[in-house]
Amino acid sequence: MARLVGVVLERFGRLDGAFNNVGGVAAGRSITDLDAAAWRAELDLNLTSVFHCVKHELPALRASAGGGAIVNNASVLGVAGAGGMAAYAAAKHGVVGLTRAAALECARDGIRVNALVTHAVDTPLFHSLAGDHVDAAGLSPIGRLSRPDEVAAFAAFLLSDEAAFVTGAALAAARDERELPDTA
């Protein structure tokens, strides 16, 4: 991340915003079936990676003067739980906590940090986890999977000046309040 931020600064002269859309599922199984290595791999993939992004983006945003914004993709499991997904949910809850802490730490610098809580996005990763016969209508209150371009538009809004008073929030895109299914 240090090198990537350095390339951005070299090429564009400043950093104004970042969308940290990192993660995947490394250890989707029961808590009792997780070993320490699988637990650590999940945290590294889904939380530590976001930490490294934020750690290197904040100094660049501060140096750009005038503020900026960071959006971290947290997943619905950053605010909920699901059987068979304890390590992933713990990591994504950590992303929400990291987001809120970073927002408080840099608010006076004019830098906003928010978490985007996505759920059931029509991506190859989602389909590989959910299987071929997923009931998209049952996964979302609007009756379908969200599209990647819709998530991108929400992230772009949070990065824009139109969201200038929003910081430290975990904002849901079509969040469903029903209990999440057990995936174990």
Residues with active-site annotation: 88
CA distance 157 to 85: 30
Q: Dump the DSSP string for the chain.
A: -HHHHHHHHHHHS---EEEE-----S--S-GGG--HHHHHHHHIIIIIHHHHHHHHHHHHHHHTSS-EEEEEE--GGGTS--TT-HHHHHHHHHHHHHHHHHHHHHGGGTEEEEEEE--SB-SHHHHHHH-TT--HHHHSTTSSPBPHHHHHHHHHHHHSGGGTT--S-EEESS---SPPPP--
